[in-house]
């Protein structure tokens, strides 16, 4: 992979992180109940897909590009961080838990 391709990949991953942060933040501001469940469910599903893809790649090497794994890791970490930030901002008092 050339250096310019690598930097483009990093820029694209940064854009994806920002887009996910905006979507998840908007979701947290709109409805905490839905946001909590999506913040827990989506990263869990993506983690399972990532594990299956990694195992399949270990068994038989495929042509999965490296940016795919970066995208999956970013898609796991971003909602968890956004969820933790909003949980901290709400001081652990979510309206639907009361």
pLDDT tens, 47-80? Answer: 999 999 999 989 988 888 888 899 999 999 999 9
Residue with tokens 């839905």: 34
Domain boundaries, the chain: 3-88
Tokens of 80: 């968890």
Residue with tokens 């709109």: 30
User: How high is the pLDDT of residue 86?
Assistant: 92
Each residue's pLDDT tens digit, 9-29: 888 899 999 999 999 999 999
Non-local CB neighbours of 65 within 8 Å, separated by 6+ positions: none
Q: Which of 6-10, 15-19, 31-35, 36-40 has the weakest average pLDDT?
A: 6-10
Three-class SS state of 2: coil
96 pLDDT higher than 90: no
98 pLDDT higher than 70: no
């Amino acid at each position: 992979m050339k250096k310019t391709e690598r930097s483009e990949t990093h820029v694209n991953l940064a854009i994806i992180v920002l887009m996910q942060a905006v979507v998840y933040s908007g979701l947290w501001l709109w409805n905490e109940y839905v946001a909590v469940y999506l913040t827990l469910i989506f990263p869990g599903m993506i983690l399972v897909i990532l594990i299956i893809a990694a195992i399949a790649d270990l068994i038989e090497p495929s042509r999965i590009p490296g940016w795919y794994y970066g995208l999956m890791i970013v898609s796991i970490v971003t909602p968890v961080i956004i969820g933790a930030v909003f949980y901290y901002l709400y001081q652990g008092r979510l309206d639907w838990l009361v």
